[in-house]
């Protein structure tokens, strides 16, 4: 028997979360974002699960798109960082990849080839994220060059897009100002109303109906985590998709004044019962998780104590009944929101999910 630390992936829940995105934006087509191994869930399995119900997939980088094609996925795949050479562009054209174009050198590569067939070019405006994309003036110039080179196909094959920097944050009106800049910029383009557009990530799909256009790009919401940094009325539409479990492999009593784990970072104030669990930061349990972080053992609430080790954590089970060696422990998932654990480790659900390491088997349910 192998070590009993694993993640269960709930494929039906991913499907259901995709349908939530679709129902929230019924006029839009939703591209399932499955970059970074589908946020740690297994890119191929997730792609196979969604292929019949999505119009297209999005990944971050070229290699991810190649992996999907080589494994037999046939839907269009948008590469969010685009391609970086003529070789990649030729491969992309042959394999029905769609390409984000966000800088001048990508544009120059693209201008060497006719834009025909099913190739979609996603021209990206930097409307405020200040990470990728053309500024307003460059964007209009890029648009003119592409239109000039491809007068017949451009309307069919170009998507005008941008990305929000803080749609998950209730304390800014950045979405409104980004939308305004986007709309202003595209209003200067010839026949602008005839072009498809794309703006919304998960937070905008759930929170800003005004951002829903022809194409949306849901990511984290497919994996059941609220994108918001505050409680939101639509959070409970999403179902958890990843349950991270391990088991108790040690049990002991500690007396008042005794420390637990490296550097005795936690010291018992009274006699306590401590269980050792076979999961650590090498598996993707966050090193930064604080003492007091919630854990579920044999269906009961317990708390992390002391420092997270490479392969183990310690939990205080004094308030639980009958904890035994071999008992199942849930670290996050169906009974414990990943967002809660993320908060306690000063991180975000995205990082927890993508951080589950290769040592941990993914079991598909």
**To the nearest whole angstrom, how small is the minimum distance from the Cβ of residue 350 to ligand PLP?**
7
Render the burial of 348-365: b for 16+ CB within 10 Å, e for the rest: bbbbbbeebeeebebeee
Residue nearest to ligand PLP (CB): 219
**To the nearest whole angstrom, how small is the minimum distance from the Cβ of residue 22 to ligand PLP?**
14
Which positions touch ligand PLP (CB under 6 A)?
Answer: 33, 35, 80, 163, 201-202, 217-221, 227
Length of the chain measured in residues: 365
Annotated active-site residue 365? The verdict is no
When the beta carbons of 65 and 220 are compared against ligand PLP, the nearer one is 220
When the beta carbons of 221 and 275 are compared against ligand PLP, the nearer one is 221
Query: Directed axis angle between helix 104-111 and helix 86-94, to 10°?
Result: 60
Catalytic residue among 152, 180, 262, 301: 262
Helix (H, G, I), strand (E, B) or coil at 351: helix
DSSP symbols for 196-260: EEE---HHHHHH-GGG--SEE---GGGGT----SS--TTGGG----EEEEEEEEEEEEE-TT-EE
When the beta carbons of 80 and 331 are compared against ligand PLP, the nearer one is 80
Annotated active-site residue 35? The verdict is yes
When the beta carbons of 61 and 251 are compared against ligand PLP, the nearer one is 61
**To the nearest whole angstrom, how small is the minimum distance from the Cβ of residue 159 to ligand PLP?**
12
**To the nearest whole angstrom, how small is the minimum distance from the Cβ of residue 78 to ligand PLP?**
9
Q: Based on the number of CB atoms within 10 Å of its own CB, is 113 exposed (0-12), middle (13-18) or buried (19 or more)?
A: middle
**To the nearest whole angstrom, how small is the minimum distance from the Cβ of residue 197 to ligand PLP?**
13
Helix (H, G, I), strand (E, B) or coil at 174: helix
| Whether the Cβ atoms of residue 218 and residue 30 lie closer than 8 Å to each other | yes
Catalytic residue among 15, 35, 120, 197: 35
When the beta carbons of 220 and 242 are compared against ligand PLP, the nearer one is 220
Known catalytic residues? 35, 262
């Amino acid at each position: 028997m192998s070590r009993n630390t694993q993640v269960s992936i709930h494929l039906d829940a991913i499907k259901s979360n995709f349908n939530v995105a679709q129902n929230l934006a019924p006029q839009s087509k939703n591209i399932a974002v499955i970059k970074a191994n589908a946020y740690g869930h297994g890119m191929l399995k997730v792609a196979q699960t969604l292929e019949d119900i999505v119009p297209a997939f999005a990944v971050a980088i070229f290699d991810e798109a190649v992996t999907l094609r080589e494994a037999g996925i046939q839907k269009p795949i948008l590469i969010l960082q685009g391609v970086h050479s003529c070789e990649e562009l030729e491969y992309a054209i042959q394999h029905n990849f769609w390409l984000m174009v966000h800088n001048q050198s990508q544009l120059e590569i693209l201008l060497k080839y006719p834009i025909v067939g099913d190739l979609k070019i996603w021209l990206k405006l930097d409307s405020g994220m200040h990470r990728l994309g053309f500024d307003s003036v460059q964007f209009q110039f890029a648009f003119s060059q592409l239109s000039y080179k491809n007068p017949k196909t451009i309307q069919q094959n170009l998507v005008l897009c941008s990305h929000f920097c803080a749609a998950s944050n209730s304390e800014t009106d950045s979405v409104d100002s980004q939308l305004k800049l986007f709309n202003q910029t595209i209003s200067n383009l010839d026949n602008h109303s005839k072009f498809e557009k794309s703006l919304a990530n998960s937070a905008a799909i759930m929170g800003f109906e005004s951002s829903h256009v022809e194409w949306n790009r849901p990511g984290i919401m497919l994996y059941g985590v609220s994108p918001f940094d505050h409680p939101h009325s639509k959070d409970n539409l999403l179902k958890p998709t990843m349950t991270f479990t391990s088991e108790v492999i040690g049990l002991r009593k500690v007396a008042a004044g005794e420390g637990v784990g490296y550097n005795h970072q936690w010291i018992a104030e009274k006699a306590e019962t401590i269980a050792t669990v076979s999961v650590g930061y090498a598996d993707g349990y966050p090193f930064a998780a604080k003492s007091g972080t919630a854990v579920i053992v044999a269906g009961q609430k317990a708390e992390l104590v002391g420092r997270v080790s490479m392969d183990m954590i310690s939990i205080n089970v004094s308030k639980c009944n009958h904890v035994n060696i071999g008992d199942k422990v849930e670290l996050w998932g169906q009974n414990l929101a990943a967002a809660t654990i993320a908060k306690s480790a000063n991180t975000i659900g995205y990082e927890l999910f993508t951080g589950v390491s290769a040592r941990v088997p993914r079991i598909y349910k």
